[in-house]
Every structure is written in C-alpha cells, then in structure tokens.
Chain A
Amino acid sequence: MTEPLSFEKSRASLPGPRLPTAGVETSAALPEEHRRRRPPALPRLSEPEIMRHYSRLASMNYSISEQFYPLGSCTMKYNPVLNEEAARLPGFAGLHPYQDEETTQGALELMWLLERALCAVVGVERLTLQPAAGAHGEWTALRMIQAYHRANGEDRTEIIVPDAAHGTNPASAALCGFRVVEVRSGPDGRVDVADLEAKLSNRVAALMLTNPNTLGLFERQILEMAEMVHATGAKLYYDGANLNALMGICRPGDMGFDAVHLNLHKTFTTPHGGGGPGAGPVGVKADLVPFLPRPTVERQNGGFRLDHGRPQSIGRVRSFYGNFGMLVRAFTYIVAMGGDGLTEASRDAILAANYLRKTLEGILDLPHDGPCMHEFVASARNLGPQGIRALDVAKGLLERGFYAPTIYFPLIVPEAVMIEPTETESKATLDAFAAALRDIAETARQDPEELHAEPRSLPVGRLDEVAAARSPVLRWRPDHGAEPESDQGPTGRPQN
C-alpha cells in the first residue's frame, strides 16, 4: 500500500475553506513592493480527503501504541493517555508565555515542583527545564561547564568522550568549540580507566559519561573515575539517556556527576511524536548553579516568579521556558507513579532486560557478561556465515510484527543489536519477541535469501538509500519527475 502525496491529490478547481471575513473598515493595503507575487503551491483538498490522507499515513506507521519497540537507548515505554489529557487542559494549553506572572502561578508552580522532583531523582541542586531535547540538554550542560571554567580563569579546550558514547556527545562538544578526545572501552565493555587517566589533563573541561553505559553495563569504577576527573579540576557530565535503569536504585549526583541531562521523552513517558518534541532538562550541582540558563523559577512569599537576573547565566538556549506541554506530561506521570512507582519501574526494566537477554542465549551472540541493567547489546555476527547481518535481523523483525532494535550502535560491537525492553512490555510480549528472533536465526540457517528479501508485507520493501542520497529528492515539485537536485552552487555566491 502506498498513498499519493497530498500535492498529487490536489485539484486546482477546489475552493479554500470557509473562514471569517475581516468585517472592519480600513483603507490600508499592503504596498505592492511587499506583496507576494506567486502564491505558494499548497495542496487544495477537502476536509474529508485530508482526514483520509492522514489516516492512511497513520496506518503505515509502527508505534508504541501497537507494537513493541525494542530500541536500545531510546526507552520506548508506554505513553500514558492521561498525560495527553493533562497537557490539553485549557489552563495549560491556552497560556501566552508573556502573560503576567500573577496569571500563570499554576504553570510556574508546576515547573517548580517538576524541578524539585527531578532533582530528587538524580541527586542535584537545581535544574533547568529549558532545553528542548536530549542533545540540546547536552549542549546546554557543556556550555555551563565551559562558563564555569572561564569564570575560574581557565580556558579548558577538551572534552573526553567514551568510544561507546552516543553520537550526540561529540557533536554537542564540537558545537561548544571543544576538541573531542576519545577514551577506550576495555574488554569488559566498560571505560578503560588506565586510558582515562592517560587522557586526563588540565586541558580537559569534562568527561561525558552515561551510566549504565551504552552496552547496558554499570560502570563499576564510577567513583574512582569521578575522583580522577575532579582531581584535575574537570567536571563530570551525565548523559541521561539511560536513567531508566536507576530510579530509586542510585543517583548520578551521588556518583559524582556535576551536570546531568534527562530525556523526559524516555524515562518520563512523554511521547516521541515520530522524533519529537521531547524535553532535555539539565540538573547541576551547587557550583554550576550560577550558570543555569535564565529565567529560572523561584519561590517567593508563597508564590512563584521567573528570575531573569542571574548575572553569570549562560543566557537562553531557546525561546520562552522550554517545551512546557512536555513538562506537564512528565509531571503528571511523576505524580501518578510517585517515588514507589518510579522505583518499581526501574526495577522492572532491569528485570525485563535480563530476562530477555537470558532468553536470547544461543540465538544471538552476547559479547559481554551479564547481568545487565535496563538494556543489553547482542551481536548478529553469529549469523555472519549465513550472510545475515544485523540489518537483516532488523528487517526480519519488522516482517514479524516488531519494530527493530537499535543496530550498528554502539560502534565498538560488530553487528550490534541493542535491545531495551522497558518495564511496560509483558512477559508474553518478551517471549513472543524472543520467538521471532529464534525464527529469524532458524530462517538464516534454512533460507537466508528469504531474510534478505524481507520485509515483504509492509507498505514498501527495503529502499535503495544509496540512490536516494546520491540524487536527493527532498520535496515534491509541480513538474515532479526524475529531477536531480544538484547541490553544486551557481557562481557569484560565497562558497568555501
């Protein structure tokens, strides 16, 4: 099944929707030199056609509401429908960001309470809710660490990142102008502490780490590493992608982390929306507090206000106060779960990962010893002799009704298949997923060509991504055909 583009279904003869008319008297008109010359070629469709178009597109998606998403490091847990109801309340959705603070006390209190709750979960002093996504939070945290060092008269130029780190870590560091230094993982899948020691110097601004790491393994030597890092005057930064393993079990702040970013769209159930919006708050220890983005929410005389002062603040990382609608959702989830529920969630997530890992023994390679925390990394290299790669395993899972795990990440595991089941998948689902992988491994032995041809029953089969990138078609055009979108610039414009 495919669905034509909305543009392809457009009919030039169709009138626009019925809308209010101005109903006022004025002689003013937009001057000719400012007027648009050619109208935009937006589609012209009736509402029934629009609704059917998007319903059909919706049916071409996998989603957590229907399928298990075992994506490692993505924490695809159930998105409570209550959160959506909360965010849609007119008292939240209908607020202008520049209303007087007297008229937004409930919103400010919600932000203040959410900050307190998240601080309690991760063990830090204060927290900003402004960053719009995890990567945005990483960058915000690094900017604060940079500002801290500069305030101390130090110009530290390097950030240490493990070879197993998320790609956003080095990208965020580079965006701050830092040089990225990589630290090796040892054979047990954890940071090679000797290599870290060798890389540390007074040029290093921070070590970026996630714990459990991207292999789902707890960094046993975290306290030693924290001490080493702090001894050189550097800061320790926590990538919160894997926080779902830790709630009520231990806290990044207690491990020695100075700055912690969180993904509300992972641990705190705000929906992923096909890639966003999310929210990436950042918590910090006391010595980084002066550098928090402004404004912060402060409690004063029983009320709440925005503090725009903060002379040492790094400034603003986005407009207004962050993705407020996502904050409402996360807050609602935390109230419903409570400290007891969040703790149970992390414990169940760890149980599910270990159970699934155990169930996959003999089906995929498990290159690192367990137990794992909330996720684990398997490898499809055992299917290599049959010509089957991680990609084929992923496509085979799609054919069997499951989304695919994260594949080819982390980079240090060949044919990596990274699996995170979360606490909201039943044992029956985990068993069915394992059965699908067993079937794939069996098919790899019996009929590898079949696997190469999968998926067969989805709206499209495997797409030729190489051809797509070679001559990219990034938009529909009225005269759409095999138009090559050359990116060779014309002359007379700055090129580098």
Chain B
Amino acid sequence: MPYLVHSATDRREMLDALGADSLDDLLTDVPAGLRRDGLDLEAGLSEFETMARVRALAARNRVFEDRLWFAGGGVYRRFVPAAVSAVISKPEFYTAYTPYQPEASQGTLQAIFEFQTLIAELTAMDVANASLYDGATALAEAAMMAVVHTGRSEVVLAGTVHPEYVEVLRCYQDGRGFELRSGLEHVGERTAAILFQQPDFLGLLEDAAGLTRLAHEHGALSVACVDPISLGILAPPGEYDADIAVGEGQQLGLAPSYGGPHVGFIACRRELMRRLPGRLVGEAHDGRGRRGYTLTLTAREQHIRREKATSNICTNHSLCALAASVYLTYMGPDGLRQVAEVGHQRAHALAERLADVPGVELAFPDRQFVNEFPVRMFHVEHRLRHLRDAGILGGLPIGRWFPDRPELRDVVTFCCTEVNDPAAIDLLVQELGRA
C-alpha cells in the first residue's frame, strides 16, 4: 500500500504487545451493527497509474496562454517569480503545522510576522492579521468586526462589490444576525460600516475618501476591499482614513488554480486590533533575551474563548501568506509600483483601442480605472466565443451576475497585467474587430 509503513511483522509485534490476536480485538467498542468490511471504492493504483488518471483529467481542461489572459473578476494572471514556488515548495514550510510550539516553529512564525508587516505597509494600516481564507470571507469577517465594535446592526454596501463576495456576506449575515443594505441612501444611525471595493468589481474607482468621510459622519466604520497590486500606485486605505482594509491576495504570487487556495488579508487601525479574527503573531523574548515570535492575543480565539471568540477561525492560509510575503519581498516598493504602472498603462492603451472597434464602446467613459475596465458590445456571447477560438481568455461577461441592472447587460470587463505584452494586446484588438 502506498504511504503505509508497517510490515506484517511490525503489525504482529504490536498486536502481541497488546495481547491481541487481530486488530478487530481493538474495535470492541464499535457496535457490531455498524461494522463494515472495507469501502465501496475502487482498489488503489500504482503511482504511475494514479498520475496517469489524474493527468487525463487535467488534460480535459483548456489552459490559455498566460499572455492571452484578459479575464479578471477577482482572479488574475500575473508574473510569479521563481523564488515564490521555490520557497513554498520547501517541506519545512508546507508540511509544518500551525505554530503552537513557538520554539520549533520560528520559521513559520517569523514569516507570518513579516506578512503582517507587509500587509500593514501595503494598506497603510496599523496592524494586519495572520491571513484569512479568501477575499470574500475577509470582507465578511470585517463586517462582523464592525457590527460587534459599533454595537450597530446594519452594514451598507456601496457601489458594485464582487457579486460572490456579496453572496458570502449574505450567508454570514443570516447567521450572525446583521442586515446587509445596498446603496448609500441606507446610511444612518444603525449603520455599523460602509463596505466598498476599490477598484470595484468592474474595475472602476470609487470615491474612497468620500465614502470614508460619509461613514465617519454617521459614526460608522469604513471598510475598504482593495486590490493589493493596485496599491503600488493607488491610494491605500490608510491614506484615506479607512478603518478596516481587506482583500484577496491571489495576485501576490499564487496560481489561479480554478479559484483556490488563495489568501484573504485583513488590516485595521490599532484600536480594532483585539477584534481581529484568527491568529496573530507577535514579538516575544526568551529567558536569555533572544528575540522570537509567538502566537499572541490568543484570548480572542476559539480554543480559549469558545462560543465568545471573535471568530471560529483556527487554521488560516499561512502557506499562501508565505507566497505573498516572498512575492512582495521580491518586488520591493519599486517592483510593485512598476507592475501596477504597467498594468495601468496597458489597460488604458487597450481601452483606447477597443473604443475604436466597431460595435464596442467604453461602458463608463467618465470613470477612472487602474487595470481592469468595462466595455459594452453587441453580441457578447458570439464575440467571446470567437476570442476563445483564437486562444484568448476574456473578457468577463458580467451581465449574468446582475440580472436586475439593465445598464450592465452587454458589459464585458477586460484586464491587463505585465503578462499581456503589446503583441497580445494587438491580437485581442484585431480578433475582437473580426468577430
């Protein structure tokens, strides 16, 4: 059997030590009526056959060339430095457990401490936590933090937030007992927070500073859901005085992987620190004065507080956070600004050229964007199918998420990053013109 270590002799010796004839002697607590003799599954395969089977499934998926990805909507194709996969492939990182014993886990702990600092710097907030599952659940956790912190019961969504994030918020709201409202007309004395996405789901920029002022005027918190790469050039939540910043970290060195695993992040102002969900790592010292890192402020957490915990999160996405840390360290401030700038320039160049394609127009020409933008076009399905046949992924037909917003019916978003070279952009424009 693969991965099993005992020989028949080992098993016999262990059974002998227990004075048992067979393993079944150890199963006397299991009621006889429940006992089964094996599983209704096929027998195992050799490694070679296993991989052949798995490869055959992988081969039934179509993989688009990196440079021809123009689809975004929360998952993006970006350049990933080789250093990222080299580090996260180290078994000392990927096969370690949650760092309960700090003396034997300094690698993971210091890496998380660095992640916390990197995210705090990126968002210009005071503190960041040791990673959440994804952007959607990070936003839901931020909403719950705001509800508990303010003692208020409503959360207002501003603008066009990722529809799947909104669905997750709705699922959490039902359980936690707060109400989600859409639209600024609902802002009032019951509002715990205004939630917005910057840039929004369509790629368009919100008036983040104005929304934050509005929240504060009503005694509510401002929660910004941000794109981490955009923060290389775009004002970070701390600069417009938001209270909580969250986002999806996939772009920071993680494969698209059909949507996961990725990593959520959450950062906040200092006075909200003890309301953060999940693990936090802090600096500590040993008896000889050596600096180390340990899980801290654990009194917020489920294993101590049980039903009074700030959240039920116990594991997190440390390995994905590690990837993000390596990515941000590799990029540094200059590299991050450059990839953000390149995406911005290429997306604007593409937008200008698409606007000249017959039957295609910018959907919201007066709105600013960074590297993802909406266009309106005739025959969306036909054109996207044509692009697909030409080996191009994208854009994203967003109408399907917004059946009650007719202005979005024929809208498609495109995005550009540093992987979409000028020739790829030429090809997209050319093929869209021919469709």
Scan residues 63-89 of chain A and give those whose CB is less than 8 A from a CB of chain B.
Answer: 63-66, 69, 71, 74, 76-80, 82, 84-89
- For the complex, give the distance between the alpha carbons of A146 and B177 in Å: 13
Indicate whether A95 sits within 8 Å of B256 (C-beta atoms), given known contacts A2-B291, A36-B239: yes
Does B251 have its Cβ within 8 Å of any Cβ on chain A? no
Does the CB pair B304–A274 fall under 8 Å?
no
How far is the CB of B398 from the nearest CB of chain A, in Å? 10
Residues of B within 8 A of A57 (CB): 106-108, 110-111
Residues of A within 8 A of B284 (CB): 463-465, 467-468
Residue from the list A19, A94, A278, A424 in contact with B315, Cβ < 8 A:
A278
Does the CB pair B98–A272 fall under 8 Å?
yes
Q: List 22 A-B contacts (CB under 8 A).
A: A5-B117, A14-B332, A17-B330, A28-B344, A31-B368, A65-B95, A87-B257, A104-B62, A109-B57, A134-B314, A135-B313, A251-B34, A254-B34, A274-B322, A275-B97, A276-B133, A335-B50, A337-B3, A339-B40, A485-B270, A493-B243, A494-B221
How far is the CB of A5 from the nearest CB of chain B, in Å? 6
A320-B75, A461-B286 known; 7 new pairs, CB 8 Å cut-off, are: A97-B259, A121-B41, A167-B309, A177-B177, A247-B39, A354-B14, A462-B103
Identify the closest chain B residue to A110 (Cβ): B57
Which range holds the interface residue count of chain A?
35 or more
Scan residues 1-53 of chain B and give those whose CB is less than 8 A from a CB of chain A.
Answer: 1-6, 10-11, 13-15, 17-18, 20, 23, 25-31, 33-45, 47, 50-51, 53
Does A435 have its Cβ within 8 Å of any Cβ on chain B? no
> Per-residue 0/1 for A164-184: is the Cβ within 8 Å of any B Cβ (1 yes, 0 no)?
001110111111110010000
Question: Across chains A and B, which 3 residue pairs bring their CB atoms closest together, nearest first?
Answer: A320-B259, A91-B58, A338-B44
Does the CB pair B117–A7 fall under 8 Å?
yes
Does B334 have its Cβ within 8 Å of any Cβ on chain A? yes
Indicate whether A79 sits within 8 Å of B39 (C-beta atoms), given known contacts A60-B106, A315-B168, A316-B164: no
Does B319 have its Cβ within 8 Å of any Cβ on chain A? yes
Does the CB pair B137–A342 fall under 8 Å?
no
Does the CB pair A16–B333 fall under 8 Å?
yes
Indicate whether A458 sits within 8 Å of B103 (C-beta atoms), given known contacts A143-B174, A319-B136, A339-B39: yes
How far is the CB of A85 from the nearest CB of chain B, in Å? 7
Residue from the list B105, B137, B305, B336 in contact with A42, Cβ < 8 A:
B336
Residues of A within 8 A of B265 (CB): none
Scan residues 218-255 of chain B and give those whose CB is less than 8 A from a CB of chain A.
Answer: 219-221, 231-236, 239, 243, 248, 255
Does A187 have its Cβ within 8 Å of any Cβ on chain B? no
Does the CB pair B121–A41 fall under 8 Å?
yes
Does the CB pair A354–B26 fall under 8 Å?
yes
Residues of A within 8 A of B17 (CB): 355, 358-359
Does B399 have its Cβ within 8 Å of any Cβ on chain A? no
Does B370 have its Cβ within 8 Å of any Cβ on chain A? yes
Scan residues 311-349 of chain A and give those whose CB is less than 8 A from a CB of chain B.
Answer: 314-326, 328, 331-332, 334-345, 347-348
Most chain A CB inside 10 Å of its own CB: which residue of B60, B79, B116: B60
- For the complex, give the distance between the alpha carbons of A272 and B54 in Å: 22
How far is the CB of A4 from the nearest CB of chain B, in Å? 9
Does the CB pair B307–A323 fall under 8 Å?
no
